[in-house]
Amino acid sequence: MGERISAGSFLSSGPRSTACKAESSSTQRIPTLSALIKVCLSHACDTLVDMNDPEMIASVLRSAHQAVEAAEVPEDLRVPAFETAAALLQPFDGASSQVPVSAPNPSLGVLSAGNSPAAAKAAQKLRVKESLVSRVLDFDEDGVHVIVQRSKLAKTKAEAIQQVATLVVAGRQATGIDPDGWTQQSHVRDATEALGVDDPKNFATHLKRVDGIRSRGSGKTGELKMNAVGFEAAADLIRQLAEESSAG
């Protein structure tokens, strides 16, 4: 098992130029987490050091290391694999020019089951704090549940259905619940019914108007797929709903 490192020790280890300086090693020993961090690319390190949340930094580093371990990456590819995983898991604060990645590199197994709780996976993908995700979405063996009150959603059913679709699809695809990247419309329909915002006659029409989501098929066999625009919209919506829920 790799060496564990805390966010505090990483941030206090010295100037960025020192922490991120690439170092080569002739040893045949498989790199530990500390070693991987020391040889990471300056771009990835710059982004991590710019993050203001030590807990998020520690989470990103640990998750990246777990991903490399779980994927059984060959020794000579462990460093670039760690760099890629760390870059994919970096949080998005809404002010950065970076666009959320629509899907992780499947060869790294970054979001494979068991690496971290579902809420943490969603937070990493959407690049928002896990505490905010947990105020809006709940995850269990049945999938993703929107847990905000109906009153927090848009007043019209059309907008409310679109918001629920954005949350459900983002939650399922960000955590890898739908491994092929497509979410059945029935999951959204179930969520809208539970929240009292269902509109059976116009349901399909409302879904087609959601930014960042494309659909295929219709009725019970219809499916939805979210792109980068959709994930960013979901992140903004989660922040908004979490703040409103916190305010009461």
Q: Which two structure tokens, joined as six digits, stand for 51? A: 């993050």
- pTM of the predicted model as reported, rounded to 2 decimal places: 0.56
Quote the pLDDT of residue 71. Answer: 75
**Which residues, 6+ apart, have CB-to-CB distance to 23 below 8 Å?**
38, 39
What is the residue whose two structure tokens read 């170092």? 23
pLDDT of residue 129: 94
Structure tokens at 80: 């670039």
pLDDT digits (tens, 9 = 90+) for 161-210: 999 999 999 999 999 999 899 999 999 999 999 999 999 999 999 999 99
Q: Is 145 exposed, middle or buried (0-12, 13-18, 19+ CB in 10 A)?
A: middle
> CB-based burial of residue 138 (10 Å sphere; 0-12 exposed, 13-18 middle, 19+ buried)?
middle
Side-chain half-sphere exposure of 220, counting CA atoms within 13 A: 0
Alpha carbon distances (Å) from 110 to 115, 145, 242 = 8, 23, 26
Long-range CB contacts for residues 80-83, cutoff 8 Å, separation at least 24: 81/108, 82/31, 82/36, 82/37, 82/40, 83/40, 83/41, 83/44
118-247 domain in CATH 3.90.930? no
Q: At what angle do helices 118-126 and 228-247 cross, to 10 degrees?
A: 120
Q: Which residues contact 80 (CB under 8 A, 6 or more apart)?
A: none
Joined together, the tokens standing for residue 116 give: 């971290």
The whole-number mean pLDDT for each consecutive block of 10 residues of the chain, a chain of 248 residues, reads 45 42 41 53 44 62 75 76 70 40 36 59 94 94 94 96 98 93 95 95 93 89 95 97 82
Domain ranges in the chain with CATH number 1.10.10:
118-247
Which phi and psi angles does 32 have, rounded to 5°?
-85, 175
Residue 152 has a pLDDT of 95
